Amino acid sequence: MIKDEHKKRRIAFAGSLLDIEYQGAPAERVMAFLFRDLPQYEAMPGNEATAHFTYRFESDRIDGNLCLFAGDELERSCDSEADMALHLISQACYQLAYFSTGGLVMHAALLSRNGQGILLPGSTGKGKSSLAAWLLHRGYDYLTDELVYTPDDHSLQGWGLTRPLNLKRAARPLLREVFHISETEPGVMSNALVDLIPPEKFGSGKVLQSVGLERIIFPRFQPSASLEIRKLSKAQTGLELMQCLINARNLPEHGFPAVANLARAIPAYQMVYGGFEQVTGGLFASSKI
């Protein structure tokens, strides 16, 4: 039973529905910060589906802590809005991927220029968010820095789970020197490990929900490396994409045929780079993008 003062936000992504019931001003701030760029879910009249998972987020407690419940079980308690924001967005991504159906969900960033999508697959920690920030800074439109869904309808559309960019502590010099963003400035949530930064802090590109996929680039950052671009064969592309797939257990044949179809349809490259100034040229210098 929802208390009168609880609000609810339903998040729909990749065939999954996640409900977050929340209460209190700090929770409202965290929810607004994390999910403001996601469209509000609109159920068909008379067809209100049940969410796959529900969180309850309370922040008006006497002890001042912010608490996140999964059912009746306390999952996380902390006194920092930034800590809770980081935990909540990570868990939301996990739950949405866990219950996803009808297509591939991949660890990937997704950016767009002139309506053409560039998919940047890579597991956590590969530098996708930093590269996404750089491309935003260069005028690209933003979809996501973490989770991409490609429905199994042969449309070659990519949908991004839009969230604030998640940059690790190691990227702080970059934030200050390249993007001129301070971790303490308004509109940024930071903790000891991570800075969560809304996309508009990096550039004036639009925030999009979906885009046609035109190119796949597997980025590999290596300090001091020269720029190297290698076109991948379709089979190599399929192999790399399978390693970024996170909902294989939900898919027919673990998503293998669907990944192969994607690899057949979209050209892919591996890009080794040692600095962002290299990225301005190369694959991103095409007049098509």
Partner 1 sequence: MSEPTNTPEKKLSPEDLPRRKADYRLEQLDDELLLYHPSDTRILYLNQSASLVWGLCDGEHQVSQILQLLSDLYPEAKEIEADIYATLAQFLEHGCIEL
Rank residues 116 and 236 by Cβ distance to partner 1 and give the closer one: 236
Single out the residue of 15, 11, 12 nearest to residue 100, CA to CA. Answer: 15
Rank residues 46 and 252 by Cβ distance to partner 1 and give the closer one: 252
Determine if 230 is a binding residue for partner 1 (CB under 8 A).
Answer: no
Rank residues 11 and 260 by Cβ distance to partner 1 and give the closer one: 260
Determine if 231 is a binding residue for partner 1 (CB under 8 A).
Answer: no
Question: 139-172 in b/e burial notation, b at 16+ Cβ within 10 A?
Answer: ebbbbbbbbbbbbbeeebbbbbbbbbbbbeeebe
Rank residues 162 and 250 by Cβ distance to partner 1 and give the closer one: 250
Can you read off the two tokens belonging to residue 219? 């980025």
Can you read off the two tokens belonging to residue 92? 């939301």
Rank residues 206 and 264 by Cβ distance to partner 1 and give the closer one: 264
Q: Which of 6, 138, 168, 254 binds partner 1 (CB under 8 A)?
A: 254
H or E stretch covering 98 = helix 81-98
Determine if 121 is a binding residue for partner 1 (CB under 8 A).
Answer: no
The DSSP secondary-structure symbol of 204 reads: S
The nearest distance, CB 255 to partner 1, in angstroms, is: 10
Part in contact with partner 1 (CB under 8 A); list of ranges 55-63, 126-134, 228-236, 274-282: 228-236
Site string for partner 1, 178-217 (x = CB under 8 A): ----------------------------------------
Tell how strand 73-78 and strand 210-221 pair up.
unpaired
Rank residues 67 and 260 by Cβ distance to partner 1 and give the closer one: 260
Residues 6+ apart with CB under 8 A from 135: 111, 118, 279, 284
Determine if 70 is a binding residue for partner 1 (CB under 8 A).
Answer: no
Tell how strand 165-168 and strand 194-197 pair up.
antiparallel
Can you read off the two tokens belonging to residue 136? 């935003």
CA distance 22 to 131: 33
Determine if 256 is a binding residue for partner 1 (CB under 8 A).
Answer: yes
Describe the strand order of the beta sheet including 194-197 as a list of residue ranges. Answer: 165-168, 194-197, 189-190
Determine if 123 is a binding residue for partner 1 (CB under 8 A).
Answer: no
Interacting residue ranges for partner 1, rule: CB under 8 A: 233-236, 238-239, 242, 248, 253-254, 256-257, 260, 263-264
